[in-house]
Amino acid sequence: MARKPKKGYFVKGQFVAEGSEEDLALKREAKGSEGTSKTDLKRESVELQKLGEDLLGLRSALMQRLTSQGHVDEKLSDALVHARQITNFEGRRRQMQFIGKLMRKLPEEALQAVRDALFEQHSGSASETLSLHLTEQWRLRLIDNDAALEEWVTHHPDTDIQQLRTLVRQARKDHLSDAKSVSQGLAPRQGRAFRELFHLIKSQLTASHA
């Protein structure tokens, strides 16, 4: 009597019997691969929706550049405008899901352009904040001691030295008056020289890094 053929399948030319250890191992591997794929898709979906949310805060000039270059189409642009107008939590949540869906349809080139625009905005903001901090540090140092004034002139010889000395001298007087006001429980006035000194320093720092 002929033996009943085993049920199975071939993998790379090798027969794998159903129910065998190799069959079970392959099925576990396939199941694991499928699970990983779904996880990756879910993570990508969340990331693209977050990217869409970040687009809501993109400066108009950068957004116009994306639209003019064709990276953000009219449908996505209108969806973003509408999302900014929605105040209802549930309505906004649904709108952001819709934006996420539109983001998933964008080609990789467009997604990279969006990421670049967001990075450009973030870098610009960080750079501006650093510049303001550096300007403030120099203003306080110049008011506090003459050594800082000499150091500034060494690093920035193109500065109008006479104007700088005049502003520093007046800012020091204003600073003393402010300290007296504070001791009396009054708010500091921060006179014109104090403000003009800040603008002078900032303009020189900007010119030196141009």
What is the rounded distance in angstroms from the CA atom of residue 188 to the CA atom of residue 142?
19
What is the rounded distance in angstroms from the CA atom of residue 126 to the CA atom of residue 115?
16
Q: pLDDT band at residue 142, thresholds of 50, 70 and 90?
A: very high
Non-local CB neighbours of 79 within 8 Å, separated by 6+ positions: 95, 98, 99, 102
In a domain, 21, yes or no: yes
For 4, other C-beta atoms within 10 Å of its C-beta total: 6
- Do 82 and 143 lie in one domain? The reply is no
In a domain, 4, yes or no: no
- Do 53 and 141 lie in one domain? The reply is no
- Do 98 and 180 lie in one domain? The reply is no
Structure tokens at 173: 């007087």
- Do 156 and 67 lie in one domain? The reply is no
- Chain segment 19-78, per-residue pLDDT in tens: 777 777 766 665 554 444 567 677 878 888 889 999 999 988 889 999 998 999 999 999
Query: pTM of whole model > 0.75?
Result: no
Instruction: Give the angle subtended at the CA of 111 by the CAs of 74 and 75, to the nearest 5°.
Output: 15
User: Which alpha helices (H) appear in 88-144, and where do they start and end?
Assistant: 89-104, 108-144
| Local structure of 8: helix, strand or coil | strand
Please determine, for residue 145, whether its predicted confidence score (pLDDT) is greater than 70.
yes
- φ and ψ at residue 146, rounded to 5 degrees: -70, -25
- Chain segment 154-173, per-residue pLDDT in tens: 888 999 999 999 999 998 88
In a domain, 29, yes or no: yes
Sequence-ordered strand ranges (E) for the chain:
8-11, 14-17
Q: Are 103 and 51 in contact (CB under 8 A)?
A: yes
Instruction: Give the angle subtended at the CA of 159 by the CAs of 153 and 160, to the nearest 5°.
Output: 115
Q: Which of 35-49, 101-115, 118-132 has the lowest mean pLDDT?
A: 35-49
In a domain, 13, yes or no: yes
Amino acid, res. 64: Q
- Do 94 and 174 lie in one domain? The reply is no
Q: What is the DSSP letter of 209?
A: T
